[in-house]
Amino acid sequence: MQYWRKPLDADRIQIPHGEIHIVRDRCKGCGFCVEYCPKDVLELSSQFNIKGYHPPEAVNADACVHCQLCELLCPEFAIFVTLKEEEQTVEG
């Protein structure tokens, strides 16, 4: 059973999309961004960076909605998101 309805302005609202940039060699592999990304975009990669940590990688990059949570949560200033210019409307 569906308890919610379609928002009245759903046709006008555009979900932004972000492009994730990871500064791999600055990462210390804490995993905060992986744990708290609301869209589960990130995953720790199996590769090592220059310090021997596993930096994250964007496995589901299209799902990013440019919330910038990873950017603010990262203690190493190693991940940030820029807004993708392309426009896309909400479906359903």
Partner 1 sequence: MKKNAGNVPEHPMENLLRMDRIPHIWCSTCGIGTAVSCFIQALQNFDYPLDKIAVVSGIGCSGRIAGYIKLDSFHTTHGRAIPFATGLKLANPELKVIVFSGDGDLVSIGGNHLIHAARRNMDITVFCVNNFIYAMTGGQCAPTTPTDANSSTSPYGNFDHPFNIPLLVGSCGATYVARWTALHIRRLTRSMQEALEKPGFSFVEIIAPCSTLYARRNRLGTGLDLMKFYHDNSVIQHGAPLESLDIQFQKKIIVGKFIDKKRPTFLEAWDQYLGKKLGDKFISAEKGIRAA
13 is an interface residue for partner 1 by CB under 8 A: no
- Pairing verdict, β 42-44 and 56-58: antiparallel
Select 22 or 41, whichever has its Cβ closest to partner 1: 22
- Kindly give, in sequence order, each residue whose CB lies less than 8 Å from that of residue 53, ignoring residues fewer than 6 positions away: 27, 28, 29
- Across 27-92, the runs of DSSP E, i.e. the strands, are 42-44, 56-58, 79-84
39 is an interface residue for partner 1 by CB under 8 A: no
The window from 2-10, 31-39, 58-66, 84-92 that contacts partner 1 (CB under 8 A) reads: 31-39
Identified binder of partner 1 from the candidate list 15, 59, 72, 83, rule CB under 8 A: 72
